[in-house]
A and B are shown apart, each in its own frame.
Chain A
Amino acid sequence: MSNEKKSAVERLAAADPALAVTQEDLARSRGKSLAVMQTDAVQLAVGGSVEQFHRQPPVRRFRVIGGVGLVAAAAAVVAGVFASSLNPQQLQQPVPGATQSAAVPESDSSGPSQPPEIVGAKAATGAAEIVVGGNGNKAAVSTDEGVNLIMDALITGTLGLNSGGCFAGIHPDGTSGGLVFPFGTKVTATGVILPDGTPVNLGDNYAFGGGGSPGHVDLGECSPVGTPFLVQSWDGLVSK
């Protein structure tokens, strides 16, 4: 039996996974565990460290507040009795004018300042019409005037005609995508003239800024599928 025990213990010792630990393993682990000295990380609890929490003296604030509350309530009762004994006319206060509430801001001036209101900003609504130019070619042109909130997307392609005879973007894979040109665009036989006079003709490569046309305006043959791209900026983005 003792031989068996010895054998079991020897086999147990031989099966120790730590026998495979090398000096390199130990050195690496030593370096990693010594690196904690470079930090001053302290485990925090809500309201401070655990240590501070346990060392905090018992709080007696509630007792003090309760006492103050009782005194205030007693004072209010005494004041109420005194006021009820006075002539009602003496208690009348001047009624604030009807316009006063408008003049005085409702929010406390000491509170956080409100963000400034954005005025004069106008975003596109997506409203557009189909304009017919020479040769019967058509283009969708926005009817939103004075839009000054510009979207940031970029679209590139080549100006072409879609199957409905409408100026549209032709993608490299041969598919076409609807374009809505900005308000003031003129439609010619060979392309469009943007509001600042920039011509974009059939076959021109373009890179327009803007975004998907908001709203769900039906542009018929100018955008048979998908959401058309609303062109909003084009400076230097057109090339032959």
Chain B
Amino acid sequence: MGAVREKLFLAAHAACHDKVYRYFRRRSEGASTAEDLTAEVFRIAWEKCCQDQELSVLMVFGIARNVLRNHNRSNARSTNLAQQLERQRIHPLGMGEDAVGEAMERLRPLEREVLLLTYWDGFTSAEVSELLHISASAVRMRLHRARKELSHLLGTDYVAKDVSNEQ
């Protein structure tokens, strides 16, 4: 019983840990927060393994999404609006490249999430569809819109730079 539980947990851990950690690094404040959130995901996974439940990558990411949502909710409660705005101004989405970060901020939240899950986390449309509980065609449509919008936003940025260079 204990051995089965350990085996299930270690399999899920080996398959998902690095992806989950990177998932949190992309969406939270820093390395220590990402570590804490990852540990919380695997604590829940360890409990689930108690019921001899096999954990797929998507199940672990489902847990991760819930953990991140809770984390963001408690952050929003404890941090006042001014501090949040300040933090977002300084570190938009934790990204280094400001133009991309600003463009991402201007996308709709669900479209942004589809984009990030696809291009950063490397999920297929079918996996994103299962993770977000929306149809695959909706994922494709949102991805198309998000890409278009991002291109537009970044393209505008480029044009503005070219114009300024020409002057």
Q: Which residues of B contact A34 (CB under 8 A)?
A: 13, 42
Whether B147 and A11, one on each chain, are in contact in the complex, defined by CB atoms closer than 8 angstroms, is no
CA A82 to CA B36, docked complex, whole Å: 74
Contact code string B123-167 (vs A, CB < 8 Å = 1, else 0): 000000000000000000000000110110011001000000000
The digit string for B18-62, where 1 denotes a CB below 8 A from any CB of A, is 100110011000010011001101110011001100000000000
Contact of A5 among B35, B104, B147 (CB under 8 A): B147
Given contacts A17-B25, A17-B96, A33 and B147 within 8 Å (CB-CB) = no
Q: Are A29 and B147 in contact (CB under 8 A)?
A: no
A12 to chain B, nearest CB (A): 5
Chain A interface SS verdict (over half):
helix
- B97 in the interface (beta carbon within 8 A): yes
The answer, among B9, B26, B35, for a CB contact under 8 Å with A29, is B35
Task: From known contacts A16-B26, A16-B120, A18-B26, infer whether A11 and B17 are also in contact, taking CB-CB under 8 Å.
Answer: no
Closest B residue to A9 by CB, please name it. B119
Cα distance A20–B30 in the bound complex, in angstroms: 11
Binds B, one of A37-45, A61-69, A181-189: A37-45
A20-48 vs B, CB cutoff 8 Å, 1 = contact: the mask equals: 11000110111011111101011100000
- Verify A33–B41 contact, CB threshold 8 A: yes
B147 CB contact (under 8 Å) in A9, A14, A36, A42: A9
Q: Is B6 an interface residue (CB 8 A)?
A: yes
A85-122 CB mask vs B (1 if < 8 Å, else 0) is 00000000000000000000000000000000000000
- For chain B, the count of residues having a C-beta within 8 Å of the partner chain is 40
Residues of A within 8 A of B13 (CB): 30, 33-34
CB neighbours of B151 from chain A (8 A) = 1, 4-5, 7-8
A15 lies within 8 A of B101 (CB)? yes
| Nearest CB of chain A from residue B88's CB, rounded to whole Å | 14
Q: In the complex, which residue of chain A has the Cβ closest to the Cβ of B100?
A: A15
Q: For B14, give the chain A residue with the smallest CB separation.
A: A30
Q: A12-B150, A15-B96 are contacts. A33–B17 as well, Cβ < 8 Å? A: yes
Residues of A within 8 A of B9 (CB): 37
Supplied contacts A4-B154, A16-B119, 17 more A-B pairs, CB within 8 Å: A4-B151, A4-B155, A7-B158, A11-B154, A15-B96, A17-B25, A18-B25, A21-B25, A26-B21, A29-B21, A29-B38, A33-B42, A34-B42, A36-B39, A36-B42, A37-B6, A39-B43
Which 7 A-B residue pairings sit nearest by Cβ, starting from the closest?
Answer: A18-B22, A33-B42, A15-B97, A15-B100, A8-B151, A36-B43, A17-B94
Instruction: Write the residues of chain B forming the contact surface with A, with a CB cutoff of 8 angstroms.
Output: 6, 9, 13, 17-18, 21-22, 25-26, 31, 34-35, 38-39, 41-43, 46-47, 50-51, 93-97, 99-101, 104, 115, 119-120, 147-148, 150-151, 154-155, 158
Which residues of A approach B to under 8 Å, CB–CB?
1, 4-5, 7-9, 11-18, 20-21, 25-26, 28-30, 32-37, 39, 41-43, 51
Interchain Cβ contacts under 8 Å between A and B, 11 examples: A5-B148, A5-B151, A8-B150, A8-B155, A17-B93, A18-B26, A21-B25, A25-B35, A26-B18, A28-B35, A30-B13
